[in-house]
Amino acid sequence: MWGLVAAGSVFFPGLFLLSKQALKQLMGWSEGDAAVVSTRLVSSIQSIMASSAGCIIIASCRDVIEDRHWLTDAYILFATPYFAYDIYAMFLCYRHKLQVKGHEEAGQSVGLMGATVIGYLRREFLMVLHHIFMVTFCFPASLGKGDYFQGVLFLAELSTPSVSLGKVLIQYKKQHTLLHKVNGVVMLLTFFGCRVLLFPYLYYAYGRYASMPMYRVPLVAPWQCNLGTALLWPLQLYWFTLICRGALRLFTERSNSPPAILKADGNVGPANSCTTNQTAGGGRGE
């Protein structure tokens, strides 16, 4: 058990440091730029690993309650340190954003560091709260029966790579490229399917298994499941609203502005690791 936690504690920060160093040496990027892209890269890799584990678990569980798969508990333990690491990685990106805006001394003294931390917690409050809740409640509560449902929850991470790519494209002023448009459509579809519809599907799947109407499932489901849904689903709805609003704003600006002066200086999509308010997934949407 603790070996898997230790492995995750080394793997995710180690991958971040390795990626950041490689980008600095091979691409000649600054510390901040390399940290931002490395954070998104690690988030995407974690999401691919989680989604792959989810597919394997779902395919192996015919009985949605009783069937078990060793990968479920193993990946939960391995991935738990990721959320603690990501809180720190998001802070590094937030500090880099302040420096880009002209606050070159951000975090260089104890007083300024304290102000930077407070500003970070205010801006990324929902994401930090999401990560803390995942580590302290959701993952411990997931250990046990119901591997099929945990595998479905892992699929929520399918939206994370497109969210991360979208933020990288925005960072490098590629908002009006074809790649950004295609990625935006993929992000909308994956976030809606794998995060917004995820929690209703869990109740539907249990209702089908127990031969009861979906509206009765919350009355018999474990309280941990209802609490997790009550706290996490509204966040997904909120972040999806931000994605839709950002996409609408982007295409509205394109239609109302001359092509020669098209610019976008706002974030598009939910907060994720680094410079936005999300992920989710998940963070990330996540």
The answer to whether residue 171 is domain-embedded is: yes
Is residue 38 a part of any domain in this protein? yes
> Does some domain include residue 245?
yes
Per-residue pLDDT of the chain (286 residues; tens, 9 = 90+): 788 999 999 999 999 999 999 999 988 888 888 888 999 999 999 999 999 999 999 999 988 888 888 999 899 999 999 999 999 998 888 888 887 766 544 445 545 777 888 888 888 888 888 888 887 877 666 666 788 999 999 999 999 999 899 888 887 788 788 888 888 889 999 999 999 999 999 999 999 998 999 999 999 888 888 988 898 899 899 989 988 887 787 777 665 655 433 343 444 444 444 433 333 333 444 4
Task: Render 143-190 in DSSP notation, one character per residue.
Answer: SSS-HHHHHHHHGGGGGHHHHHHHHHHHHTT-TTSHHHHHHHHHHHHH
Domain count of the fold of the chain:
1
Host domain of residue 119: 1-103+113-256
CA distances (Å), origin 269, targets 13, 66, 94, 247, 250: 25, 38, 17, 7, 10
Q: Say if residues 93 and 274 touch (Cβ distance below 8 Å).
A: yes
> Residue 58: inside a domain, yes or no?
yes
Task: Decide if 283 is inside a domain.
Answer: no
Residue 199 pLDDT: 92
| Residue 187 located in a structural domain | yes
pLDDT at 8: 93
pTM, full prediction: 0.79
Structural domain contains residue 278: no
What pLDDT score was predicted for residue 87? 92
Within-domain flag for 204? yes
Q: Contact at 8 Å (CB) between 250 and 266?
A: no
Contacts for 204 with CB less than 8 Å, ≥ 6 apart: 214, 217
